[in-house]
């Protein structure tokens, strides 16, 4: 399964990529913000998007809303990653159609659990 990791912080992309590799995901693509991610998603089908919330110019939350409003992308599983565990953010993301939510920092086991929950494993 192909995974798109979206984060404006290169180190975080590397960390998530390594965690995904530990879990057996080899096909991992990356984007630095929501705009780049959206472009990549229009070119290629991803089995999962893991996106940071706080990015410029397009946030992960705005990306999520764009993805959910695009008929060709709307079914793509989407996990939001953030350093903030504010209840209003979680509620907003859920209303916008996020499949799961991870608060940083997290490990491979947490990521695995969130991915399995998304796919009902």
What does the pLDDT look like over 67-93, one tens digit per residue? 999 999 999 999 999 988 788 999 999
Q: What is the pTM of this model?
A: 0.96
Instruction: Give the CB-side neighbour count of residue 83, counting CA atoms within 13 A.
Output: 5
pLDDT value, residue 56:
92
Strands 78-82 and 100-103: parallel
Task: Let me know: does 2 contact 47? Beta carbons within 8 Å.
Answer: yes
pLDDT value, residue 85:
79
Cα distances (Å, whole numbers) of residue 36 to 56, 67, 100, 104, 113: 11, 13, 21, 22, 27
In this structure, what token pair is assigned to residue 18? 């390594």
Predicted confidence (pLDDT) per residue in 13-58, tens digit = 999 999 999 999 999 999 999 999 999 999 999 999 999 999 999 9
pLDDT value, residue 86:
87
Angstrom distance (rounded) from CA 52 to CA 40? 16
Q: How confident is the model at residue 64 (pLDDT cuts 50, 70, 90)?
A: very high
pLDDT value, residue 26:
96
| Domains by residue range for the chain, with CATH | 3-119 (3.40.50.2300)
Which residue in 86, 88, 32, 91 sits closest to 63, CA to CA? 32
């Amino acid at each position: 399964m192909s995974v798109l990791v979206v984060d404006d912080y290169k180190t975080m992309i590397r960390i998530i990529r390594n965690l995904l590799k530990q879990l057996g995901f080899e096909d991992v693509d990356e984007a630095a913000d929501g705009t780049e991610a959206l472009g990549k998603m229009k070119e290629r089908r991803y089995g999962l998007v893991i996106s940071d919330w706080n990015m410029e110019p397009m946030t992960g939350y705005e990306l999520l809303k764009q993805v959910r409003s695009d008929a060709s992308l709307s079914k793509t599983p989407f996990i939001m990653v953030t350093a903030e565990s504010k209840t209003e953010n979680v509620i907003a993301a859920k209303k916008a159609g996020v499949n799961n939510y991870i608060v940083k920092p997290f490990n491979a086991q947490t990521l695995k659990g969130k991915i399995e929950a998304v796919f009902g494993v």
